[in-house]
Amino acid sequence: MANKSKPKPRKLSVYLYIPNIVGYIRVLLNCIGFALCFSNKRLFSLLYLLSFVCDAVDGWCARKFNQVSTFGAVLDMVTDRISTACLLVILSQVYWPSLVFLSLLALDIASHWLQMYSTFLAGKASHKDVKDSSNWLFKAYYGNRMFMAYCCVACEVLYIILFLIAENQTEDLIDVLTISMKAGSPVSFLLAVSLFGWAIKQTVNVIQMKTAADVCVLYDIEKKQKP
């Protein structure tokens, strides 16, 4: 009796996976939001945060409907990085010194790109697989979904709050933070909570960049040692 092989999914079917469709919606929400960011701050913030919520939805859909795909993972990460990058560019135009936000943008892209590349070199299935890392914070970040979610949400919320409370396009970052923190309002509390999570995420980004760079260097050394 001939073996009936399981039919392979067509290329179009992968593009139309439910989590990938959610990813396309995220892109659309961000495009509309950034087009309106200076004319309607509140609508932009709502669309941006809705896109961020969809980031969790697409992961849930991928697991629920067994539609995990490499394309979906790449789409998810690229959308995350571009969304954050665009928001940081906008903040660099609103606050002084702008180099603060441009440096954060560079760190975010560099650390995640190196992490993805080192993941492929190491033959791992996911960039979140850091069980072999010796750094406790790095392992805690990727090993605890709730902890990672808090840091990511805190980072994005901080950037959105900074954008909303800016009254013009020549704000001094330190002055705005100082005044807002001393106000004793719910915004002050939210800023404090967000700043803590933001600080952890930036620390993890630095650790991630160094760890991923080490993997690339070790790969080069092992390749040269082979006869």
Active site residues: 80
Residue 137, token pair as written in the block? 């914070």
Rg (CA), the chain: 20
Classify the phi-psi angles of 10: left when phi > 0, otherwise alpha if psi is within -120 to 50, otherwise beta. Answer: beta
Neighbours of 35 (CB within 10 A): 12
Outline where the chain has alpha helix (H).
11-15, 18-35, 41-64, 70-94, 99-121, 136-143, 145-165, 173-182, 186-225
Query: Which residue from 196, 198, 206 is spatially nearest to 91, judged by alpha carbons?
Result: 198
Query: Which residue from 2, 218, 225 is spatially nearest to 122, judged by alpha carbons?
Result: 218
The gap from C-alpha 194 to its chain's centroid, in whole angstroms, comes to 15
Query: Which residues sit opposite 96 in a β-bridge?
Result: 172
Residue type, 63: R
